[in-house]
Amino acid sequence: MKILICPDSFKDALPAAAAARAIACGIRRLGDGLQLIECPLADGGEGSLDALLAATGAERRSITVQDALGRPTRADWGWLPKRRTAFVELAEASGIQALAPEERTALHSTTHGVGELIRAALDAGAERLLLTLGGSATNDGGAGMLVALGARLRDRDGRDLPPGGAALAELAELDLSGLDPRLSHLRVEAAVDVDNPLLGERGASAVFGPQKGAGPEDVRRLDAALARYADVSAAALGQDHRDLPGAGAAGGMGFAARAFLGAELTPGIELIMAQAGFEALLADADLVITGEGQLDGQSLAGKTPIGVARAARAQGVPVAVLAGRLAPGWQAAYEEGITAAFALADGPMPLEEALARCAELLADRAESTVRLFTAGKP
């Protein structure tokens, strides 16, 4: 029996590779005769770089960049010289996981560090860039990234704007003359895990701003500021991408990736599965086990378990999901190819205990799942 093990990370508990190992450990309790293939995945959010490095064998590189608050920090990126391909994860430089709750500010956080990572990739000779968008602490529409790559954003008096999304309300001039010329020869694919537009009720500010410290008035200010940014960008470029599905990803980074880098926006799970050779691994599989911290109605927008299930359904392979929590709306996953879904907890427990025991619970639930799927089979 061939079992393909392909979880995402379990936030604040286990990275995807460790989750895959825990699942495999539980299944091995059943003895020999089972072929286990570990393929850790991600959907474009936190952990995507690790998944891409594991899938491709790319080398990990590290540089000092600005974090979301402009402080120096070390950030990793991936380099695959034989393909002249670079992997950049936004969350490495501008991720929310690096900020304490009281530090989070959607008004003033910046994507400058992402631009620094892209510049490092260009310095290495990159001809192709896979940029994963997710897990951001920012709502600046990628303005900080543009500044790091040589653009100038000025107010009506010709002064450079300070960092952050709120400052975009004063944007009067977008000067792209200093933008790194090497970008014109760079093929960019951006992995997104949401399909939200830039503005409005489903936009970056309204949907994701509160997670980044924005109150109701902050959301209004940020949405108006991004609208101003979109207006000035459209005038400068002759194209308007504000309504593009995925433009609202990572606080508007999807918008910037498309408008200024010419990126193709791709569901993150599809891009990472392609890099991992998922279709080939799925061939002849008898069961797929995937999972992540939470399965809910929003998972259908492009989260890892759903992407895995859709691919497996096309080949008639059953899929089990192991989730830290089954939240409202999770039953909709059945319509996407999920065969069964199980929560990890073996009884009432505080979150801290659940996080600490994540590997143990994954192993136990994986063993039970395979016992169920193999019951009555020779």
pLDDT digits (tens, 9 = 90+) for 320-375: 999 999 999 999 999 999 999 999 998 889 999 999 999 999 999 999 999 999 98
Please state which architecture CATH assigns to domain 2-40+286-374. 3-Layer(aba) Sandwich (3.40)
Residue 111 CB contacts under 8 Å (≥ 6 apart), including other chains: 68, 90, 93, 94, 136, 138, 140, 142, 143, 144, 145, 250, 251, 253, 256
Q: Which CATH class is domain 48-269?
A: alpha beta
Q: Say if residue 148's pLDDT is above 70.
A: yes
pLDDT (tens digit per residue) in 166-180: 999 999 999 999 999
Per-residue pLDDT band for 300 (boundaries 50, 70, 90) equals confident
Query: What's the angle, vertex CA 29, arms to CA 360 and CA 12, rounded to 5?
Result: 20
Task: Give mean pLDDT, residues 140-162.
Answer: 98
Helices (H), the chain: 16-28, 48-56, 90-94, 112-124, 143-148, 204-208, 216-237, 249-261, 268-276, 278-282, 304-314, 351-356, 358-374
Mean pLDDT of 223-229: 98
The answer to whether residue 251 scores a pLDDT higher than 70 is yes
Q: Is the pLDDT of residue 378 over 80?
A: no
Residue ranges of domains in the chain:
2-40+286-374, 48-269
| C-beta of residue 271 within 8 angstroms of C-beta of residue 130 | yes
Q: What is the pLDDT of residues 31-73, one digit of tens each?
A: 888 999 999 999 888 889 999 998 899 999 999 999 999 999 9
pTM metric for this prediction: 0.88
**What is the rounded average pLDDT for all residues in the chain?**
95
Percentage of the residues of the chain whose pLDDT score is greater than 90: 88
Strands 2-5, 35-38: pairing kind:
parallel
Look at residue 311 and tell me whether its pLDDT is greater than 90: yes
Number of H helices, E strands in the chain: 13, 13
pLDDT at 301 over 80: no
